[in-house]
Structure formats: structure tokens, C-alpha cells
Structure 1
Amino acid sequence: MLKPANARLAGLYETSCKACHATPGTGAPLVHDRVAWDPRWKQGEAVLLDHAVQGYKAMPAAGQCVACAPSDFQGLIRFMAGREDPA
């Protein structure tokens, strides 16, 4: 099962992101699905962060992650898009 290497992000992913981003058919781009994430990534990280924080289409604001800080969203987006910094 895919999850972020960072323990904090892994916990946030499990409680907030996974429900949609690891379930086919939800409309959310699946974790590490480069075909789905590449067009989104090309919009820029600032746009993706804004969508995560403000909500976008069916995604609720903050992805219902009340514990997520902007830096958490950035790390989670990078993880899900398959663009984590190598450890």
C-alpha cells in the first residue's frame, strides 16, 4: 500500500486523503497515477495547493483535513502526484 514516508504525512493521508485518492471511481486522481496527475501538475503547485485548501469540484475545502497546514498539503500533493523529494 502506498503512503508517504514521513510519519506525520502518512497519518494525515490515512485519515483524509486516502478515502478518495486511493479509491477508483471517486473522480479524484489516484495516488501515483501520473496520467491523471500530470495535467494537474502542469498548472503549478500553487494552483494545486489552492484547490486543496479552498476545495475544487467535488473535493471539499481542506480535503476535510482540519489538522493540515499548508506545508502538509504541499507534501501530500507531492506524494500523491508521485513527485516526492527523494529521501
Structure 2
Amino acid sequence: MNNKARIAGCCLAALGVLGLAACSESKVDEEKTAELIQPVARVELAGAGAATEASGAAATPKSAEQIVQQVCGACHNTGAAGAPKTGDKAAWAPRVAQGKDAMYTSALNGKNVMPARGGNPSLTDDEVKSAVDYLLAQVK
């Protein structure tokens, strides 16, 4: 009977070791999965610039051309998602006819698939408007 108790104890110990091994292996899988699904980009949230300014670092204003190249150009340089291409007078004509204020509103708030502020919430109203002015200057 004593042998049976030892065998049962060994079996229980072996099951415990297997259970711990299984748990640690899944943790490795979780870590590997988390590493593989890391985002390829990060979005800067509105107000994050205020924290930078509060720490003493002043934000450097961007030129209209820089904003268009870095933000707006992803669609407006290629015509992606139906965006009027930079410099294409015919494509811009209906928008120009609506007036500059309507274009500012569209750029600031978004329109159709174009996100508000071109998807960069850290841009100021003046920066967005200067980018619109820059794009309009390309079709005059």
C-alpha cells in the first residue's frame, strides 16, 4: 500500500510540473504575440502639445509647404481616395467655387474620407488654413 501511495504522489507531482510548464509556455507565447502585434505608428492626441509647451519646449511652427508634404500630400500628391491632386486645376475648380471659408471648414473638420486636420490633430487652425492656402496657390 505504501508503494501505491508513492506512485500516486509521483503522478501528482508530475502533473503539477507539467501544469507549470504549460503555463510558462503560454506566457512566452503571449509575449511573442504582443511583440508581433506592435503598432507600426502612433497617433499624437490633441492636447499632447500642451504638455510639451508646459515643460518649456516650444513647438516649432511648420511652413505650409512642410504641412502639405508631410500631412496632406499623402493623398493630394497621388489623388488617393479621390482627393484632388496638387496643381490639378480641373479637380480643384468645384472646391474653389465653394469659397475659401468652405475649404477651411472641410480641412479643419474633415469631409468624406478626409480626416479632420488631415489626420494630424496637433496642427493649429492657422497651420491648417495655411496648408489650404498653399494648395490653392498651386492651382492659380
Structure that is richer in helix per residue: 2
Structure 2, unmatched stretches of 5+, are 1-61
TM value normalised by structure 1: 0.75
Could you tell which deviates more after superposition, 66-75 or 27-36? 66-75
Structure 1 ranges of 4+ moved more than 3 A: none
TM value normalised by structure 2: 0.50
Q: Which has the larger radius of gyration?
A: 2
Structure 2 distance, partners of 1:55, 1:74, is 13
Residue 17 of structure 1 and its aligned partner are, at CA, apart by: 0.5
Give the superposed CA RMSD.
2.2
Structure 1, unmatched stretches of 5+, are 1-6
Residue 83 of structure 1 and its aligned partner are, at CA, apart by: 5.6
Identity %: 27
Cα contact 2:74–2:80 (8 A) shared by 1:
no
**RCO higher in 1 or 2 (8 Å CA, sep ≥ 6)?**
1
Cα contact 1:31–1:82 (8 A) shared by 2:
no
| Count of residue pairs the alignment pairs up | 79
2:128 is aligned to: 73
